[in-house]
Amino acid sequence: MNASTQPVIVWFRDNLRLSDHPALVAAREAGAALVCLYILDDTHTGKGGNRSLGAATQWWLASSLRALDTDLKKRGQHLVLRKGDARAILPRLAKDTGALAVFWIDSEIPAEAARAQDTAEALHEIGVETHISPSDLLASPPSIRNKEGNGLRVFTPFWKRVRSQGDPPRPLPAVRKLPPPVASVKSENLKDWKLEPTHPDWAGGLRETWTPGESGAHRRLNDFLDEAIKGYAIGRDFPGRDHASHLSPHLRFGEISPRQVFHAARFAAEQHPALSRDVEKFLSELGWREFCRHLLFDHPDLHRRNLQSSFDDFPWRRDAKALRAWQQGRTGYPIVDAGMRELWHTGTMQNRVRMVTASFLVKHLLLDWREGEAWFWDTLVDADPGSNPGNWQWVAGCGADAAPYFRIFNPILQGEKFDPDGAYVAKWVPELAKLPPALIHKPWDATPLELAAAGVTLGKTYPEPIVDHKAARERALAAYRKTKT
């Protein structure tokens, strides 16, 4: 595109970064004044099952937008905020500024894709060009199909197909200099959006744990590849060891792209061949995120409807008291309670513990997986529209790649195996911290003297189990047998 006196607009979506941003690079090359725009579209109209952000992701978004604005100002630009229907806002802004074109990165999230298509049509009607760069996914969903033209429902062949396409394109370098802003365009006030909690302010733990924004994302990636990647393949299952990348919320908001993560990890393996196994396991986890996004592409109602229709008549129970005990980390099963309390404080939870806590809800308590998915959607800073429902359906047995469907995690054995010294439970369930490791995952087995020495009174300082493991397991298996027949 030749330089023009007419400005252009870059529409930032879930790609709140300045590096590896092809739409921003293309807009800069237009050589015109630039409007950097973010729209909080809360209209929830159109196709694709759009969802409001949960409370934790709202907090993250506010912090991420501030970080992006700061980065833009270092380059002579600033972020313009608008709230409302993108299909109306963008054409109006293009008219007001006389914009020649609008640039954005594509999204294969159905709700976002539908909104962008409608917006592009509205822009074309008034003679404004649109330039749409490929999405952040490693492979486009239409490129990964079976013989019938459907998306793959089992992860291993899916990931093999993605990898068989070769490495993704190398990420673009960070934009160092940008054209000037359009002075007449003013931004809405982020505080007016009320994304962050005030009374009460429950986000203290989130602020202690996270640094949203592109700089924070790259620090996380560098720290992970420098240290935590060593032993990741095995260590990632142990919640008391910090082998997690902590990149998921940064990926969720596009503060770092999957391409950047992929190539950085591959480079680490090339530089240090001993890390190859750990890197491949890590890349497969990036692949699982991709897998869930592909599932969402084919199933826009993934958070509402069972992928396996045989589960549509599953005999889920309704028990508000049990659900509340699970949400608050008061089930009487230490590893479950530790995970739920970690989630509330930090907005995240270790991967192995996510599976254990989810399994407990849907199999020990026989509560609908959608209840758990909704709670995680509200409390996770990395609540992803593909991964969150995809993972919950996997645990419940009604989703993709869910075999063996009848697997029921034993929370006691899971704690003893993966938190053998009890450090994770002691951190998040401090009322049990003085129990010895042999008892911390099953305090009901402690003698009265051992409980007294640890300052534990079951039923008072720490709850009795809300359900018996053996009885709950039998009840779940009976329910699943009915589903199978």
Which residue among 193, 202, 316, 344 is the active-site one? 316
369 is catalytic: yes
Nearest to 225 by CA among 244, 211, 250, 198: 244
Cα(315)–Cα(479) distance, integer angstroms: 7
2 is catalytic: no
DSSP annotation string for 372-433: HHHHHHHH-TT--TTHHHHHHHHHHTSSTT--STT----HHHHHHHHSTT-HHHHHH-GGGT
Which residue among 59, 60, 288, 377 is the active-site one? 288
288 is catalytic: yes
Which residue among 392, 394, 410, 428 is the active-site one? 392
Cα(52)–Cα(58) distance, integer angstroms: 9
Which secondary structure element, helix H or strand E, spans residue 213, and what is its range? none
196 is catalytic: no
Which residue among 29, 188, 202, 351 is the active-site one? 351
| Contact yes or no for 317/370 (Cβ under 8 A) | no
Rounded to 5°, the CA angle 333-339-343 comes to: 140
Cα(274)–Cα(391) distance, integer angstroms: 30
The DSSP symbol for 48 reads S
Cα–Cα separations (whole angstroms), residue 399 to 54, 148, 314, 331: 23, 20, 13, 26
Which residue among 285, 416, 431, 450 is the active-site one? 285
Which residue among 104, 210, 369, 394 is the active-site one? 369
* Cβ atoms within 10 Å of 330's Cβ, excluding its own: 17
For the chain, how big is the Rg over CA atoms in Å? 24
104 is catalytic: no
420: burial class by Cβ within 10 Å (0-12, 13-18, 19+)? middle
Strand ranges (E), 121-241 = 129-133
316 is catalytic: yes
Cα(192)–Cα(190) distance, integer angstroms: 5
Q: Are strands 34-40 and 101-105 parallel, antiparallel or unpaired?
A: unpaired
Task: Say whether 12 sits in a helix, a strand or coil.
Answer: strand
Which residues does the annotation mark as catalytic?
285, 288, 316, 351, 369, 392
